[in-house]
Amino acid sequence: MKSMNTPITPVKNGFTLTELLVVLATLSVLAMLLVPALASTKPHSQAIQCLDNERRLALAWQMYAQDNRGKLAPNGDEAAQPTSPTDPTLETSNLQWCPGVMEFGAQDNGPTNTALIMAGCIYPYVKAVGVYRCPADVSTTLIYGRLLPRVRSVAMNCWLNPLNIWNASANGRAFRTDSDLGVLGAANVWLVMDENPYGIDDAYMAEYPPPGPGGPARLYWVEYPAAYHNGAAGISFCDGHVMLKKWTDQTVLSLRSQSPPNMPPNPANCPDLPWLQSVSTRSN
């Protein structure tokens, strides 16, 4: 029998050039839609990480007090700084929660020296130097010709067991033990805060107390909070809770890009500074 050969239709392999162009165009459109959405998640994740860092610092601070019969971790200003991370006074007269100065030219390369953080008395409860730096803080310092990131973004309320009282004439109350906090309530006293990178120095952040029977309102910034998170700063409180505090004072907000002026007055009807003073201490 004579066989019949059936013609075979060629199988189409791959995409045509036109189809590939359509696919690439579609992917490009999707990428354009996704990039802004992904970018917007970064600030949110940084804020979450910042609050977690400050929660961990608050817990370490509380654990230190529990292990020391209620005595709060000492808080050192610039006058109480050690000569090095191995300075023996860090275990005696200069024992403090976090030694080191973030200013350019600070002794022993303080702005980049993690050994100073590790020499702090609450560090054994933290055990992670990264917790002391806000992920949104991109500030740097020049060390031996190289720009390096600072190792600390936060500072502590100066009225919490200070080694040296800030401005005795301010007539603010220093809290030495956890029971001292009962005057305001631990939930109403701020503990650690993001400090403005253009003004941060020691880990001791000063503000005037609120007005009291013995003195008038002094609505002048002493040191400035940061505004890393869409105009807000991460803050922890002595009871361990944390929050993002949104600022409205244009001086505070503008300090994200310029050096701070010398203690400008609080704008009229702006609640920022009165609020911060009210959760710092009380007047004696």
pLDDT for the residue 2: 47
CB of 50 closer than 8 Å to CB of 227 = no
Of 157, 276, 155, 156, nearest to 217 (Cα)? 276
What backbone torsions phi and psi does residue 69 show, to the nearest 5 degrees?
Answer: 55, 40
Round to whole Å and give the CA distance between 94 and 227: 31
pLDDT for the residue 259: 59
Helix (H) / strand (E) element for 154: namely: strand 154-157
**Taking phi first (over 0 means left), then psi (-120 to 50 degrees means alpha), and beta for anything else, what does residue 185 get?**
left
Which two tokens mark 256? 């994200």
Largest CA distance in the chain: 122
Digitized pLDDT (tens) for each residue of the chain, 284 residues in all: 445 555 555 555 556 767 666 666 666 565 555 445 444 567 789 999 999 999 999 999 999 999 999 999 999 999 999 999 999 999 999 999 999 998 866 556 689 999 999 999 999 999 999 999 999 999 888 878 888 899 999 999 999 999 999 998 889 999 999 999 999 999 999 999 999 998 899 999 999 999 887 667 888 899 999 999 999 999 999 999 999 999 999 888 887 655 555 656 777 789 999 999 999 999 98
Of 133, 171, 125, 126, nearest to 152 (Cα)? 133
Which two tokens mark 168? 């005795």
pLDDT for the residue 37: 45
Per-residue DSSP letter, 108? G
State the burial class of residue 11 (Cβ atoms within 10 Å of its Cβ: 0-12, 13-18, 19+): exposed
CB of 126 closer than 8 Å to CB of 175 = no
